[in-house]
Amino acid sequence: DSGVTQTPKHLITATGQRVTLRCSPRSGDLSVYWYQQSLDQGLQFLIQYYNGEERAKGNILERFSAQQFPDLHSELNLSSLELGDSALYFCASSVTRGEQFFGPGTRLTVL
Amino acid sequence: AQSVAQPEDQVNVAEGNPLTVKCTYSVSGNPYLFWYVQYPNRGLQFLLKYITGDNLVKGSYGFEAEFNKSQTSFHLKKPSALVSDSALYFCAVRDMMNRDDKIIFGKGTRLHILP
């Protein structure tokens, strides 16, 4: 158990809908990262937050957004969902510049 | 810009034999290097890292990795493979020159250990 928790484990929704994925980092970790893993694209870095502020941005679509709250948990919001958004979404946390510890992921299925 | 390559999509090894999973990287400055393993329907688990110091890094589950600066490689090794080592392995790199903490992952290598 990495200490990073993600909810929900599974999410099934329809095209055009909006969902929110939640992540709680390990105790003491200030950085939260979001990744998308799909069969054809591998593991894609989406965005990083550090102590509530955006630190780095990767291949995140404009339909997607994230935030980190004062208690350091983070949410990833995915809107106007398309079939191609079906994937595993992982959250990871770390201390500054340390290795990242991954949550168990949320499997999103868009029908 | 930083990048990492895992040239093999899949590696097959007989149980008890040594295994190597290859990784090469490209960074502007000095690298932080990582190996992660992913079992089916699980998140990635940290195996080991190289930041500085000894080029041979030891990690979890008997794995080790060798940093080679001249060849820009960081291959994952284990002297004797177990069937339970079968999983998806990811190499990752962070460029120490970058202000952010972004880590770039390779596409992964699927390791099959044959009984």
Looking at residue A36, its pLDDT comes to 95
The whole-number pLDDT of residue B70 equals 94
- The predicted pLDDT at position B101 comes to 75
Q: Do B104 and A56 touch (CB under 8 A)?
A: no
Is B9 near chain A, with CB under 8 Å?
Answer: no
Strand B56-58 and strand B64-68: the pairing is antiparallel
Query: Residue B73: which pLDDT band, with cuts at 50, 70 and 90?
Result: very high
Tens-place pLDDT, residues A75-90: 999 999 999 999 999 9
Among B44, B49, B93, the strongest candidate for a mutation testing the A interface, having the largest count of A CBs within 10 A, is B44
**Tens-place pLDDT, residues A91-109:** 999 987 778 999 999 999 9
Q: Please give the Cα distance from A33 to A65 (Å, whole number).
A: 12
Share of residues in chain B with pLDDT > 90 (%): 77
Does residue B99 have a pLDDT over 80? no
User: B21-33 pLDDT, tens per residue?
Assistant: 999 999 888 889 9
